């Protein structure tokens, strides 16, 4: 491509034209080698001069303390680098690669979700020994959802048991990807020493005396590999012929196909989501990363290669947002981060126009205008101040106080909202409280900030128990939240299981009488109420009906009597939980001309209700959850057995492709820790959702345990 023929949508002031910009993400199953691959990319592109290692805690993109301690990626890190290929369509043209290293752990799936929403292409990393792992499937589905063109990097070719072609076949079978090798590995495990380029039909042999992998020799394909390479090149050409008519004609006629013709066909098929090129390598042993960088430049799209984004207006109409430095501003705030030095950072992907320091933008959600005080390019936890960000750029802004994840930054005249990323609902919750009263306000502020940053982390207050409840994607997710509370916000907090909101009801009608009589000299207290209670329909709550006739209880004492009944119903007689699904009728009573009062009748109402409850055979109810589990068919039996052990009642089971969908009703008490258990049971390949269904009677076998626990709680209070 001639640099002189760049598109007129580029601003003459931008350093790297849109055609030569790549916004890519590195995504995979946990421990497949994403961060190690990213570190090698940064080394070979000259961003860092010393290779960082995950096991040493010296990586650039895993900069959080928790990441370096645990050796995992928790938050996606953005970083920019440059690369120039020696040959091909973009030969000797400097390219800018904006790279995001995403987490692999399923608890941090939101980080992957929002990164893929704003990226143009991705590199899916797979382990050559394990092939397609459970979280690989989740990441792949996320890429499909946002229609992200991708390459596959089969990592860890230096490991014993490495099988490059087996991993390629795994991608085809398990993920349904049209995957084809672009390179072949020369040897594997300890014998892995180079790659064969099927496009050029040349070999790259690494110099074992150079541990950094910079020195490699381009050579003829070794004789004993030549026939295999020819067969796989033929297979690659056959696959590409399906997407390129000109190449198909040459292939059928047996004519020679040039490397650049093959590169054009691979590029167009990849961008059209019809083809996945696969590259073997070992990031840890510094082999194959340069070839991966060449492939990123050759085959993954620039912002101009993709369909325009859709934006929505208030009137329901949609408009297309195409990359253009000279158009009106349209950018998406896809991630928030609290920085200890500069405050709230908003990560943005600019789709059209320019973001400028000191200028203002309009937020269609809040209907407010905000000013950008600082504009930066992020390099993991480092930052570089800039004056302007152009279309296709990923940057961070300071000063946007009202922006949340998914907000659009635009001009007031255009008033358009880009589609925000979507996030899964939290699946696990626990209560949290500060260890001291002095920390109460700090805790509230810290939780609010963390919830702003992370859309899958939610904070709520349980009105019945008075607890603060935090909810997230898994126990590791909430453990990291607690750790961040302590380290970043200096709040020490205790966490525990949230109390289950049990209920009480009755099984048979009964009458109850309540008298409140106090005589202590002078005016006394007198109230007398008789009630009849009876079971009501499920879900009907509590209804109090006045059936007093003849003025046996004066009108002014009816309301206090009803208030007493309602107060009595807040604490039942079985274990002190609220009473539901019954009708209470006030049928009789008496009063004293001098001694009766509102307080006396309120107390009489409480006593009458409690008396009737004891006679009406009360029972304890527990919340039942409607749970839907989706898992590969081979785990169906294990999951159903586990749900039965949790007192689950299977409602239905159906197959959808290779997934078994199981609907089951399970008591909430038995669902704590299920997120972790179901992942262990299915190697992380199952998903589940849970929502409240109804209340059911607690079995007699566990009733006593709940009553004892309730008694202990009351005693502590």
Which residue segments constitute the domains of the chain, with CATH numbers given?
Answer: 19-301 (3.40.50.300), 312-418 (2.40.30.10), 431-496 (3.30.70.870), 503-616 (3.30.230.10), 622-712 (3.30.70.240)
Is residue 434 very low, low, confident or very high in pLDDT (cuts 50, 70, 90)? confident
- Is 30 a residue whose pLDDT tops 70? no
Which residues, including other chains, have CB under 8 Å from residue 4's CB and lie 6 or more apart?
Answer: none
- Measured in degrees and rounded to the nearest 5, phi and psi for residue 323 equal -60, 125
| 236 neighbors 198 (Cβ within 8 angstroms) | yes
**Greatest alpha-carbon span in the chain:** 118
Please name which of 579, 529, 576, 531 lies closest in space to residue 554, comparing C-alpha atoms: 529
pLDDT of residue 57: 46
What is the rounded distance in angstroms from the CA atom of residue 445 to the CA atom of residue 459?
Answer: 11
Q: What is the pLDDT of residue 657?
A: 63
Six token digits for residue 26: 């590195």
Q: Which two tokens stand for residue 689?
A: 């959702």
Beta pairing class for 77-83 and 95-101: antiparallel
Q: Which tokens go with 360?
A: 């203002």
Q: How high is the pLDDT of residue 69?
A: 45
Residue 289 confidence class, pLDDT cut points 50, 70, 90: very high
Q: How far apart are CA 105 and CA 136, in angstroms?
A: 10
Supply 255's token pair: 């004519």
Token pair, residue 220, equals 């003829």
Assess whether pLDDT exceeds 80 at residue 337.
Answer: no
Residue range 435-442: mean pLDDT, rounded: 80
Residue pLDDT, tens place only, 452-484: 888 888 888 766 667 788 888 766 778 788 888
Cα torsion through 291, 293, 296, 302, rounded to 10: -150
Percent of residues in the chain assigned helix, strand, coil, to nearest 5: 30, 30, 35
Residue 12, class by beta-carbon neighbours within 10 Å (0-12 exposed, 13-18 middle, 19+ buried)? Answer: exposed
Distance CA 661, CA 714 (A): 42
Residues with Cβ within 8 Å of 649's Cβ and at least 6 positions away in sequence, in order, are: 664, 665, 666
Per-residue confidence band for 546, with pLDDT thresholds at 50, 70 and 90: very high
* Mean pLDDT of the region 27-42: 78
Question: Which secondary-structure segment (H or E) carries 686?
Answer: none
As a whole number of angstroms, the distance between CA 468 and CA 141 comes to: 34
Tell me what pLDDT residue 565 has. Answer: 94
Residue 511 confidence (pLDDT) above 90: yes
The residue ranking higher by pLDDT, 66 or 583, is 583
Residues near 393 by beta carbon (within 8 Å), at least 6 away in sequence:
21, 98, 349, 350, 355, 377
Per-residue pLDDT of 480-495, as tens digits, reads 888 888 877 888 888 7
Of 79, 5, 2, nearest to 35 (Cα)? 79
* 611 CA to centre of own chain: 51
Contact status, residue 663 vs residue 652, Cβ threshold 8 Å? yes
pLDDT for position 62: 39
**Is residue 582 predicted with pLDDT exceeding 70?**
yes
Query: Which pLDDT value is given to residue 109?
Result: 67
Its pTM stands at 0.70
Average pLDDT over residues 294-314: 93
* pLDDT greater than 80 at residue 104: no
* Nearest to 79, CA basis, from 395, 331, 528, 431: 395
Distance CA 495, CA 502 (A): 21
pLDDT digits (tens, 9 = 90+) for 366-407: 999 999 999 988 665 567 888 999 999 988 898 888 888 889
C-alpha dihedral (673, 675, 676, 680), degrees to nearest 10: 130
* Angle (CA) 42 261 307, round 5°: 65
Burial category of 350 from C-beta neighbours within 10 Å (exposed 0-12, middle 13-18, buried 19 and up): buried
d(CA 449, CA 401): 12
* Per-residue confidence band for 79, with pLDDT thresholds at 50, 70 and 90: confident
CA 543 and chain centroid, separation? 42
d(CA 570, CA 568): 5
Kindly tell me the sign of the dihedral angle through the C-alpha atoms of 75, 148, 138, 330.
Answer: positive
For the chain, the residue count is 717
Which of 99-113, 245-259, 480-494, 609-623 shows the lowest mean pLDDT across its residues?
99-113
Over residues 203-220, mean pLDDT: 85
Question: 3-class SS at 47?
Answer: coil
77 has pLDDT over 70 = no
- Average pLDDT value for residue range 571-589: 90
Q: Rg of the chain over CA atoms, in angstroms?
A: 33
The H-or-E segment that residue 274 falls in is: none
Confidence class for position 53, pLDDT limits 50, 70, 90: low
Residue 64 has a pLDDT of 44
Query: How far is the C-alpha of 216 from the C-alpha of 218, rounded, in Å?
Result: 7
Structure token digits, residue 460: 């709520």
**Count of CA atoms in the C-beta half-sphere (13 A) of 563:** 11
Query: H or E element: which one contains 165?
Result: helix 164-175
Check if the beta carbon of residue 389 is closer than 8 Å to that of residue 16. no
- Contact assessment for residue 329 and residue 361, using Cβ atoms and an 8 Å cutoff: yes
| Half-sphere exposure at residue 613, Cβ-oriented, CA atoms within 13 angstroms | 29
Dihedral over Cα of 153, 155, 158, 162: its sign: negative
The C-alpha angle with vertex 285 and arms to 281 and 289, in degrees rounded to 5, equals 45
Q: Does position 342 have pLDDT exceeding 80, yes or no?
A: no
Q: What percent of the chain has pLDDT over 90?
A: 43
91 three-state secondary structure: coil
Q: Is residue 1 scored above 70 in pLDDT? A: no
pLDDT at residue 262 is higher than 90: yes
| 3-class DSSP state of 526 | strand
Helix pair 259-271, 223-241: axis angle to 10 deg: 50
Question: For position 189, what pLDDT does the model report?
Answer: 87
Is the distance from CB of 645 to CB of 715 less than 8 angstroms? Answer: no
Q: Which residue has the higher pLDDT, 249 or 55?
A: 249
Q: CA-CA distance, 580 to 536, in Å (whole number)?
A: 9
Average pLDDT for 104-127: 78
Of residues 298 and 674, the one with the higher pLDDT is 298
Alpha-carbon span 372 to 350, nearest angstrom: 14
CA distances from 447 to 438, 454, 460, 475, 486 (A): 15, 10, 10, 17, 11
- Give me the phi and psi of 458, to 5 degrees please: -125, 145
- The conformation of residue 287, written as its DSSP 8-state character, comes to B
For residues 327-332, average pLDDT: 93
Mean pLDDT of the chain: 85
Is 446 a residue whose pLDDT tops 70? yes
Q: What is the pLDDT of residues 605-647, one digit of tens each?
A: 999 999 999 999 999 998 888 888 888 888 999 999 999 999 9
Q: Which residue has the tokens 């209700």?
A: 609
Among 307-321, 436-450, 682-696, top mean pLDDT goes to 307-321
Evaluate if residue 66 carries a pLDDT over 50: no
Cβ density class 457-475: b for 16+ within 10 Å, e for less: bebeeeeeeebbbbbbbbe
């Amino acid at each position: 491509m001639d640099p002189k023929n760049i598109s007129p949508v580029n601003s003459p002031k931008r350093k790297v034209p849109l055609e030569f910009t790549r916004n890519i993400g590195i995504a995979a199953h946990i421990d497949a080698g994403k961060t190690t691959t990213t570190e090698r990319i940064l080394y070979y592109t000259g961003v860092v001069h010393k290779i960082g290692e995950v096991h040493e805690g010296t990586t650039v993109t895993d900069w959080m303390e928790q990441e370096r301690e645990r050796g995992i990626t928790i938050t996606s890190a953005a970083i920019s680098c440059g690369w120039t290929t020696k040959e091909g369509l973009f030969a000797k043209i400097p390219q800018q690669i904006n790279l995001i290293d995403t987490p692999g752990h399923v608890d941090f799936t939101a980080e992957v979700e929002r990164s893929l929403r704003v990226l143009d292409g991705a590199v899916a990393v797979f382990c050559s020994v394990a092939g397609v792992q459970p979280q690989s499937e989740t990441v792949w589905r996320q890429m499909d959802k946002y229609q992200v063109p991708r390459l596959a990097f089969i990592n860890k070719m230096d490991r014993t048991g490495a099988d490059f072609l087996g991993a390629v076949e795994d991608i085809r079978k398990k993920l349904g990807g049209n995957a084809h090798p672009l390179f072949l590995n020369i040897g594997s495990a300890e014998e892995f020493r180079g790659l064969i380029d099927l496009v050029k039909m040349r070999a790259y042999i690494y110099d074992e005396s150079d541990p950094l992998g910079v020195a490699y020799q381009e050579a003829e394909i070794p004789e004993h590999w030549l026939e295999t390479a020819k067969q796989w090149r033929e297979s690659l050409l056959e696959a590409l012929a399906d997407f390129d008519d000109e190449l198909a004609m040459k292939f059928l006629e047996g004519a020679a196909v040039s490397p650049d013709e093959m590169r054009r066909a691979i590029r167009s098929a990849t961008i059209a989501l019809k083809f996945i090129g696969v590259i073997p390598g070992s990031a840890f042993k510094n082999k194959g990363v340069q070839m991966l960088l060449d492939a990123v430049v050759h085959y993954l799209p620039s912002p101009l290669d993709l369909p325009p984004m859709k934006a929505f207006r208030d009137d329901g109409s949609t408009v297309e947002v195409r990359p253009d430095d000279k158009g009106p501003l349209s950018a998406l705030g896809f991630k928030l981060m609290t920085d200890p030095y500069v405050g709230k950072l908003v990560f943005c992907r600019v789709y059209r126009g320019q973001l400028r320091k000191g200028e203002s933008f309009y937020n269609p959600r809040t209907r407010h205008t905000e000013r950008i005080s600082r504009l930066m390019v992020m390099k993991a936890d480092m930052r570089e101040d800039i004056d302007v960000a152009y279309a296709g750029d990923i940057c961070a802004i300071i000063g946007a106080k009202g922006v949340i994840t998914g907000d659009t930054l635009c001009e007031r005249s255009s008033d358009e909202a880009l589609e925000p990323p979507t996030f899964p609902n939290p699946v696990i919750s626990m209560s949290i409280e500060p260890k001291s009263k002095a920390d109460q306000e700090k805790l509230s502020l810290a939780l609010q900030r963390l919830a702003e940053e992370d859309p899958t982390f939610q904070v709520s207050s349980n009105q019945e128990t008075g607890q603060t409840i935090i909810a997230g994607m898994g126990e590791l997710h909430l453990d990291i939240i607690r750790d961040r509370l302590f380290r970043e916000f200096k709040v020490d907090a205790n966490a525990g299981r949230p109390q289950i909101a049990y209920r009480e009801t009755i099984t048979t009608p009964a009458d109850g009488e309540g008298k409140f009589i106090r005589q202590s000299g002078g005016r006394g207290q007198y109230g007398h109420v008789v009630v009849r209670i009876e079971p009501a329909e499920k879900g009907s709550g509590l209804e109090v009906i006045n059936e007093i006739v003849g003025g046996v209880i004066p009108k002014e004492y009816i309301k206090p009597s009803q208030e007493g009944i309602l107060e009595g119903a807040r604490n039942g007689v079985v274990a002190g939980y609220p009473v539901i699904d019954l009708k209470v009728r006030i049928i009789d009573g008496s009063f004293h001309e001098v001694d009766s009062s509102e307080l006396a009748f309120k107390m009489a109402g409480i006593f009458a209700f409690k008396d009737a409850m004891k006679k009406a055979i009360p029972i304890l109810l527990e919340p039942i959850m409607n749970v839907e589990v989706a898992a590969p068919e081979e785990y169906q039996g294990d999951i159903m057995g586990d749900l039965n052990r949790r007192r689950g009642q299977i409602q239905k089971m159906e197959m959808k492709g290779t997934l078994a969908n199981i609907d089951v009703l399970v008591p909430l008490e038995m669902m704590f820790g299920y997120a972790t258990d179901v992942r262990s049971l299915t190697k992380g390949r199952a998903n589940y959702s849970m929502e409240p269904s109804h209340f059911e009677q607690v079995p007699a076998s566990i009733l006593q345990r709940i009553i004892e626990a309730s008694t202990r709680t009351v005693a502590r209070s």
